Amino acid sequence: MHTHDAPAVRRQWLTDRVGAVEDALAARDLVDPAAIDDIIDLYRDRLGPQRGAALVARAWTDPGFRARLLRDATEVLTEFGYDGRGTTNSALPFLRLVVVENTADVHNLVVCTLCSCYPLALLGPPPRWYKSAEYRDRAVRRPREVLREFGTEIPDDVQVRVWDSTADCRYLVLPQRPPGTQGRTAEELAALVTPNSLIGTER
Amino acid sequence: MDTPETAARPAAPHQLGGADAFTGPVPGIDDAERFHEGWEARVFALYRALTDRRLFTTDQHRDAVERIDAGQYHEITYFERWLAAIERVVVERGLITAEELDAAQQRRFAGHDDDHPAPPHLAEYAPQDLTAPDTVDPLPVGTRVRLVDGLGRHHRLPDWARGRSGTIHAVRGLFELPDLIVAEASEGRRYPLYAVAIPARAAFPDAHPADVVYLDAYHPYLRQEA
C-alpha cells in the first residue's frame, strides 16, 4: 500500500476518471486524443485576453471599426477573420459577441449567475474568480462592492450596468481609452488593456 | 404577487445570482491561471471536442451539472462538476455504456491502489413533456415585460429575475430554447432572445438607484405588460 497525501490521491483519482471517459470514447472512435491535445493548446495559449485587447485598441484608433463593433460584433469578428492563425476548432460560429461600451457616465460589468458563460472563443477560458459562487452571487446584486474588491471605485454619478449573460450571447466590455495616449499605435494601446477591464472588473 | 408562473421553486444550487448565500470576498482575484491541474485542462478540452462534434449540447451538459446533488454541488470544484456531468451525459446519450465506462475506470485505477471517494451523485435524467408555441410574434424594443420561469427543468431564467418587470433593450436574434433542447423537443424551433433592462432597485431594494441589470431572456420567459 502506498502512502499518499490526500490532495495527491484526489488528483490521481480525478486524472484517472478523465482518462477513463476519454479511453472509452476513443475506443468507439468518438474522440481523438490528438485533437484533445490541440484544443488544450488552443484554449490555453492561442486564445486569450490579448485577442480582446487587440479589438479594443483597434476600436480606440478607428471610429468606424468602433461603431461597427458596437452595432454587430459577431459580424465584425466574422468579417475580420478573428482567428486566421491556425485555429482548427469550430468555436467561432458559436460566439455571438455583444460589445458594451464604457463612457464617462457608464460602467459595464459582465457576469453569468447561472454557470460561467464567458466569451471564451475570444478570451480563452474564464479566470477562477469569474466562476466563483461569490462573484456569481454578488456581482448582480452588489456590483459596486465587488468592483471595490478589484480596486475599482465607481463614482456615485456613474451608472453601473450589469450584464447577466445566461443565454446565447457573450459580452465584452469596451473600456475607455486612457487619457494621454494620443499618437500611440494600436499595438502600444493593446498593451494597456487589462484582462479584467474586458469583463468590467476594472474600469 | 405570486401566480402559478412565478411561484417559488425549490432552491437549486446553481441559482446563485443575488442569493446573498456566498457573501465572502471574491476568491482568486489575482490568479490568472485558467487551469490549475492537468486533468482540468483535459476535461475542458474533452467537453469542447464532444460538443463541437454535436455528440451532446452545452445545455445537456449544464442540465447534468444542475442535477448534481444540492448538498455536494459546492463541495466539489468547478471542473469536478464538469467531469461528473460528462460521465453521466455520455452514458445517458448512449455514446458509451455504463459497463464500458466502469471497465475503463478499473483499468485506469488498477495502477493506484488507493481508496477512492464516492463520486458525486446526480439525479437521474427525467423526461419532460413540454409544450411550446410553434411561432411567436417578436416584441419590439421598448416593450414593457414581466419575467417568468422557463418551460422546463433546465431553463435560463435566474431566480433573481423571476416576477421582475423591465423593458426590452435589444433583440439579440433567434435561438433554440434550452428548455426544449434538454427535453429533446426543440425540433429546430427558434425564438427571439431579448436583452431586458431591469432597474437594479426593482430587483434588489438595496441597489444603487442609478444602476441597471440587463438579462438575456428568451421570448417564452416574457409576458407583455400593459
For the stretch B88-120, pLDDT in tens is 999 999 999 999 999 999 999 997 777 788 889
Chain B hits for A19, Cβ within 8 Å: 42, 104, 108
* Mean pLDDT for the stretch of residues A166-177: 96
- Residue A168 DSSP code: S
pLDDT band at A73 (very low <50, low <70, confident <90, very high): very high
Which range is least confidently modeled, A176-185, B7-16, B55-64, B153-162? B7-16
Q: State the cell numbers at A20.
A: 477513463
Task: State the pLDDT at residue A78.
Answer: 78
Task: State the pLDDT at residue B160.
Answer: 96
Q: How many residues does chain A have?
A: 203
pLDDT of B1 strictly over 90: no
| Catalytic residue list contains A132 | no
* A5 reaches B (C-beta below 8 A): no
* A39 reaches B (C-beta below 8 A): yes
pLDDT of B7 strictly over 80: no
Q: Which of B31, B33, B87 sits opposite A21 (nearest CB)?
A: B87
For the stretch A5-39, pLDDT in tens is 788 889 999 999 999 999 999 999 999 999 999 99
pLDDT of A91 strictly over 70: no
Window B:156-215, CB contacts with A under 8 Å: 156-158, 160-161, 172-173, 175, 178, 193, 195, 200, 203-204, 206-208, 210-215
Domain boundaries, chain A: 3-42, 48-199
Amino acid (1-letter code) at residue A139: A
pLDDT band at A4 (very low <50, low <70, confident <90, very high): low
What is the count of residue pairs from A and B with beta carbons less than 8 Å apart?
264
For the stretch A131-157, pLDDT in tens is 999 999 999 999 999 999 999 999 999
Q: State the cell numbers at B206.
A: 438595496
* B118 reaches A (C-beta below 8 A): no
ipTM computed for the complex: 0.93
Tell how far CA A99 is from the center of its chain. 12
Task: State the pLDDT at residue A1.
Answer: 43
Instruction: State whether A140 and B53 contact (CB < 8 Å).
Output: no
Q: Which helix (H) or strand (E) holds B147?
A: strand B144-147
Chain A hits for B211, Cβ within 8 Å: 143-144, 159-162
Task: State the pLDDT at residue A83.
Answer: 53
pLDDT of A127 strictly over 60: yes
Closest CA relative to residue A198, chosen from A26, A48, A11: A48
Chain B hits for A149, Cβ within 8 Å: 25-26, 29
What does the mean pLDDT of chain B come to?
Answer: 92
For the stretch B26-71, pLDDT in tens is 999 999 999 999 999 999 999 999 998 999 999 999 999 999 999 8
| Catalytic residue list contains A116 | yes
* Mean pLDDT for the stretch of residues B73-77: 93
Window A:166-185, CB contacts with B under 8 Å: 166-169
Q: Report which of residues B12 and B167 the model is more confident about.
A: B167
Closest CA relative to residue B193, chosen from B174, B176, B180: B174
Task: State the pLDDT at residue A84.
Answer: 39
* Active-site entry in A90, A117, A132, A197: A117
Instruction: State whether A113 and B41 contact (CB < 8 Å).
Output: no
Mutate to test the interface with A, among B16, B23, B59, B115 (most CBs of A within 10 A): B16
pLDDT band at A94 (very low <50, low <70, confident <90, very high): low
Q: Report which of residues B129 and B114 the model is more confident about.
A: B129
Instruction: State whether B112 and A2 contact (CB < 8 Å).
Output: yes
Closest CA relative to residue B16, chosen from A146, A136, A56: A136
Would you call A15 helix, strand, or coil by DSSP? helix
Amino acid (1-letter code) at residue B215: L
For the stretch B142-180, pLDDT in tens is 999 999 999 988 999 999 999 999 999 999 999 999 999
| Catalytic residue list contains A169 | no
Chain B hits for A156, Cβ within 8 Å: 208
pLDDT band at B206 (very low <50, low <70, confident <90, very high): very high
- In sequence order, the 6+-apart residues with CB closer than 8 A to the CB of A38 are A88, A89
Window A:82-121, CB contacts with B under 8 Å: 89-91, 96, 98, 111, 113-116
Assign domain A48-199 to a CATH class: alpha beta
What does the mean pLDDT of chain A come to?
Answer: 91
pLDDT of B201 strictly over 70: yes
Global confidence as pTM: 0.93
